[in-house]
């Protein structure tokens, strides 16, 4: 077999652990606390109070051992814990892929949504168990927990797509996702967070 046809890792099966949101075999696990989300919530006073009071874990990302390398399809399972800051639902930092490529998310448990922004137009995809959200190349994306229990989803993405979190801090996401009467409501994103 020619060298270019030999994969860098062996074929494998990966088992999802529903109670914990983990995987076996496991790769790295990342936890993001409230203090890691500076500049993302509109109400900076409420964010600061949540950070200073308990600095809770807002979300965790469990990765498989598949490497982020060209030709590979890494997977991760993200768990976003329920809650809100100043009425704005808990969310991931959000990112843009520097090497624009598509990505899919599969809802596993809980309810949430996928907020996408191409720099001009925001889009919202409601997510629940069994729903597949497709992220086309060039769209920044963030996940939001809109329910009262942990929201979990599987992400599968090209290994050389990269993650640019600074893009979201610079450009925003078009909308903010807020608690509403039974359904989330959307408010225009302000470039600068509201001082509190």
- CATH value at residue 162: 2.60.120.10
Tell me which H or E stretch contains 45: helix 44-53
For 43-55, what is each residue's pLDDT tens digit? 999 999 999 999 9
Percent of the chain past pLDDT 90, that is, above it, reads 86
Q: Would you say residue 121 lies in a domain?
A: yes
pLDDT at 7: 59
pLDDT in tens, 108-125: 999 999 999 999 999 999
Asked whether residue 5 is domain-assigned, the answer is no
Q: Considering the domain boundaries, does residue 86 fall inside one? A: yes
Domain limits for position 64:
21-188
Number of helices and strands in the chain (H, E):
2, 15
Confidence of residue 2 (pLDDT cuts 50, 70, 90): very low
- Say how many domains are in the chain: 1
Instruction: Give the rounded percent of residues in the chain with a pLDDT score beyond 70.
Output: 92
* Contact between 116 and 125 (Cβ < 8 Å): yes
pLDDT given for residue 143 in this prediction:
98
For the segment 2-27, the average pLDDT, to the nearest whole number, is: 80
Check: pTM over 0.75? Answer yes or no: yes
Phi-psi map region of 119: left, alpha, beta (phi>0 left; psi -120 to 50 alpha)? left
Q: What is the mean pLDDT of the chain?
A: 91
The mean per-residue pLDDT over the stretch 101-107 comes to 97
Residue 124 lies in a domain: yes
């Amino acid at each position: 077999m020619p060298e270019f046809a030999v994969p860098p890792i062996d074929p494998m099966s990966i088992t999802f652990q529903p109670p914990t949101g983990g995987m076996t075999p496991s790769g790295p696990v990342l936890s993001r606390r409230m203090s890691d989300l500076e500049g993302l919530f509109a109400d900076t006073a409420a964010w600061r109070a949540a950070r200073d009071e308990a600095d809770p874990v807002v979300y965790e990302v469990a990765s498989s051992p598949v490497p982020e390398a060209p030709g590979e399809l890494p997977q991760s399972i993200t768990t976003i814990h329920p809650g809100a800051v100043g009425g704005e639902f808990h969310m991931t930092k959000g990112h843009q892929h520097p090497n624009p490529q598509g990505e899919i998310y599969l809802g596993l448990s809980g309810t949430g949504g996928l907020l996408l922004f191409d720099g001009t137009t925001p889009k919202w995809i409601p997510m629940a168990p069994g729903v597949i959200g497709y992220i086309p190349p060039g769209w920044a994306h963030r996940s939001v927990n809109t329910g009262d229990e942990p929201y979990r989803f599987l992400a599968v993405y090209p290994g050389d797509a990269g993650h640019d979190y600074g893009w979201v801090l610079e450009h925003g996401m078009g909308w903010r996702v807020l608690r509403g009467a039974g359904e989330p409501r959307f408010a225009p994103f302000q470039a600068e967070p509201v001082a509190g």
